[in-house]
């Protein structure tokens, strides 16, 4: 018998196609590559940095790849259903599917938003991109046929697609069901809010200047902005951080207005010992140090993410003791209790999907319970580190009650903790007056000894 030489060829995801650096074809292929990696379980920011490095792209191409990848993520459900209506089997490999979804996202922008490119350019460049990739050059006629059919039959195809919740909402079915179960009267508004483009919100460094003075600086620079809170300023149009006045000198940081509630709730006084137990990348650590002269310990289990805390505090000219450790354990603790503890625990991040549209496609339903179990262990461990009369602020960026209110109620009961006033569940909101992610805050005080 002759030996079989048949081999299965692994997809060449790292292959750099020979396409012009500033072409839409390269941008579509880069986005398709990132989307395929997200399907494989990689978060979109990491997927994009891999693509930028293997494709060795120009800054301009990076911007285009990123923009298309984020658009594609926001409309992945709708594009998947449309593809299901136009093809007999799911396009393979994953990058071909990603290419079609990326092209559809450009051809089929959300209602009332202009298409970013001419339709014929998108089709032409998507076919060109397919033709240049060895894994699916054979499918270039299919890419052409599918995209042209979409343009010809768009009203009928989208009407048919929108009958399916996956296309209507652009979330997996379990996510839609969970939102509906938790918020029977508001689930539609919550899902819509997660599909809105987030604003760029800044936190003004109160050590350096006041918020009105910074608004005046922005106005002088011709940047339109509104005040959202004591230190929160929302830009009318997002800009690159390099164009934000004073960013590099630590006058401001990028931080959602909802996240800016943490430091004031901690009721900080000079001289306190404070623990930020899940600190990376350091947004709240920075705010704590801007608010009072405290002795801050910032802990995070991920040493690479902890390095970002050092960078962020360095830009602000502030310092904390940085510890790479597991907040479920006390092995790293010197035994001296803290006056204040911030527990911004790991969670499903279901409240920040407008900033991270990949999260809904990466998460599994079972993650909620797993993460709630981890965070309850973290909270129980931290409680022993708090002084009598001290305060612990529990924060999540989740919308699921299992991770938030149910967790807070169970924690208070387990430890006989006093529950102080705090916002509780903040639902995501977009607008000039109120604009924040979906976060949860519960504040506990330890009884006097």
Tell me the pairing of strands 386-396 and 338-344: parallel
204, exposed or middle or buried, with CB in 10 Å at 0-12, 13-18, 19+?
buried
Query: Of the listed pieces 210-218, 222-230, 274-282, 332-340, which binds ligand SAM according to CB under 6 A?
Result: 274-282
Nearer to ligand SAM, 223 or 427 (CB): 427
Does residue number 258 form part of the binding site for ligand SAM (CB under 6 A)? no
What's the gap between Cα 184 and its chain centre?
A: 25
* Nearest-angstrom CA–CA distance, 151 and 77: 18
Binding residues for ligand SAM restricted to 133-162, rule: CB under 6 A: none
Nearer to ligand SAM, 92 or 302 (CB): 302
Joined tokens for residue 141: 């006629």
Does residue number 261 form part of the binding site for ligand SAM (CB under 6 A)? no
Query: What is 215-274 written as a DSSP string?
Result: HHHHHHTT--EEE-SSSEEEESS---GGGSTTTTTTSEEE--TTGGGHHHHT---TT-EE
**3-state secondary structure labels for all residues of 280-337:** CCCHHHHHHHHHCCCEEEEEECCHHHHHHHHHHHHHHCCCCEEEECCCCCCCCCCCCC
Q: At what angle do helices 94-107 and 76-86 cross, to 10 degrees?
A: 110
Which position among 305, 310, 355, 415 is part of the footprint of ligand SAM (CB under 6 A)? 305
Does residue number 123 form part of the binding site for ligand SAM (CB under 6 A)? no
* Nearest-angstrom CA–CA distance, 269 and 294: 7
Residue 421 phi/psi, 5-degree rounding, is -65, 135
282 is in an annotated binding site: yes
Among 351, 359, 348, 347, residue whose Cα is nearest residue 73: 359
What contacts 29, CB < 8 A, 6 or more positions away?
17, 19, 95, 99, 129, 132, 133
Query: Of the listed pieces 84-92, 125-133, 298-306, 408-416, which binds ligand SAM according to CB under 6 A?
Result: 298-306
Which position among 32, 51, 130, 301 is part of the footprint of ligand SAM (CB under 6 A)? 301
Does residue number 435 form part of the binding site for ligand SAM (CB under 6 A)? no
Nearer to ligand SAM, 27 or 296 (CB): 296
Joined tokens for residue 360: 């809904």
Does residue number 363 form part of the binding site for ligand SAM (CB under 6 A)? no
Query: Of the listed pieces 17-25, 35-43, 100-108, 282-290, which binds ligand SAM according to CB under 6 A?
Result: 282-290
CA dihedral 235, 237, 241, 242 (to 10 degrees): -120
Is the CB of residue 89 less than 8 Å from the CB of residue 97? Answer: no
- What is the 8-class DSSP label of residue 363? -
Is the CB of residue 339 less than 8 Å from the CB of residue 387? Answer: yes
Work out how close the CB of 342 gets to ligand SAM at its nearest, in angstroms, rounded to a whole number.
7
Does residue number 204 form part of the binding site for ligand SAM (CB under 6 A)? no
Query: Of the listed pieces 211-219, 231-239, 272-280, 384-392, which binds ligand SAM according to CB under 6 A?
Result: 272-280
307 is in an annotated binding site: no
Is 397 marked active-site? Answer: yes
Which position among 64, 278, 313, 399 is part of the footprint of ligand SAM (CB under 6 A)? 278
Binding residues for ligand SAM restricted to 370-429, rule: CB under 6 A: 378, 397
The active-site residue out of 397, 417, 439, 443 is 397
Which position among 246, 281, 337, 423 is part of the footprint of ligand SAM (CB under 6 A)? 281
Does residue number 316 form part of the binding site for ligand SAM (CB under 6 A)? no
Which position among 327, 359, 372, 385 is part of the footprint of ligand SAM (CB under 6 A)? 327
Does residue number 282 form part of the binding site for ligand SAM (CB under 6 A)? yes
Q: How many residues bind to ligand SAM according to rule CB under 6 A?
A: 19
Does residue number 95 form part of the binding site for ligand SAM (CB under 6 A)? no
Which stretches does DSSP call E strand in 359-417? 386-396
Does residue number 300 form part of the binding site for ligand SAM (CB under 6 A)? yes
Positions annotated as catalytic residues are 397
Binding positions for ligand SAM, rule: CB under 6 A: 278-284, 299-302, 305, 326-328, 344, 346, 378, 397
- Which residues are part of a known binding site? 278-284, 300, 326, 344
């Amino acid at each position: 018998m002759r030996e079989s030489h048949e081999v299965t060829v692994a997809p060449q995801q790292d292959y750099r196609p020979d396409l012009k650096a500033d072409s839409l074809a390269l941008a579509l292929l880069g986005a398709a590559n990132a989307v395929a990696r997200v399907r494989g379980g990689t978060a979109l920011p990491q997927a994009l940095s891999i693509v930028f490095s293997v494709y060795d792209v120009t800054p301009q191409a990076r911007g285009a790849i990123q923009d298309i990848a984020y658009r594609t993520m926001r409309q992945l459900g709708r594009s998947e259903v449309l593809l299901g209506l136009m093809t007999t089997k799911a396009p393979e490999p994953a990058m071909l599917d990603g290419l079609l979804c990326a092209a559809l996202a450009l051809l089929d922008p959300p209602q009332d938003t202009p298409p970013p490119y001419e339709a014929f350019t998108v089709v032409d460049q998507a076919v060109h991109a397919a033709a240049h990739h060895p894994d699916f050059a054979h499918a270039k006629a299919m890419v052409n046929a599918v995209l042209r059919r979409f343009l010809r039959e768009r009203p009928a195809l989208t009407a048919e697609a929108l009958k399916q919740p996956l296309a209507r909402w652009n979330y997996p079915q379990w996510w839609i069901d969970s939102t509906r179960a938790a918020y029977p009267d508001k689930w539609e508004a919550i899902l819509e809010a997660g599909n809105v483009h987030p604003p760029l919100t800044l936190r003004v460094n109160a050590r350096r200047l006041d918020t009105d003075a910074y608004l005046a600086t922005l106005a002088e620079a011709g940047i339109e902005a509104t005040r959202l809170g004591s230190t929160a300023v929302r830009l009318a149009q997002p800009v690159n951080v390099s164009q934000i006045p004073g960013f590099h000198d630590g006058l401001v940081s990028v931080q959602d207005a909802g996240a800016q509630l943490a430091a004031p709730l901690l009721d900080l006084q000079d001289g306190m010992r404070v623990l930020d137990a899940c600190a990376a990348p350091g947004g709240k650590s920075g705010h704590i140090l801007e608010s009072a002269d405290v002795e801050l310990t910032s802990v995070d289990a991920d040493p690479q993410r902890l390095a970002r805390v050092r960078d962020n505090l360095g830009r602000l000219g502030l310092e904390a003791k940085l510890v790479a450790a597991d907040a479920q354990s006390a092995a790293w603790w010197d035994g001296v209790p803290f006056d204040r503890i911030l527990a911004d625990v790991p969670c499903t991040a279901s409240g920040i999907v407008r900033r991270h549209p990949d999260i809904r496609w990466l998460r599994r339903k079972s993650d909620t319970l797993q993460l709630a179990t981890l965070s309850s262990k973290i909270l129980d461990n931290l409680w022993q580190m708090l002084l009598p009369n001290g305060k612990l602020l529990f924060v999540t960026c989740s919308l699921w009650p299992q991770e938030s209110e149910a967790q807070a109620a169970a924690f208070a009961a387990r430890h006989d903790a006093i529950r102080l006033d705090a916002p509780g569940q903040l639902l995501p909101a977009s607008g000039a007056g109120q604009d924040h992610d979906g976060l949860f805050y519960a504040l506990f005080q330890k009884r006097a000894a």
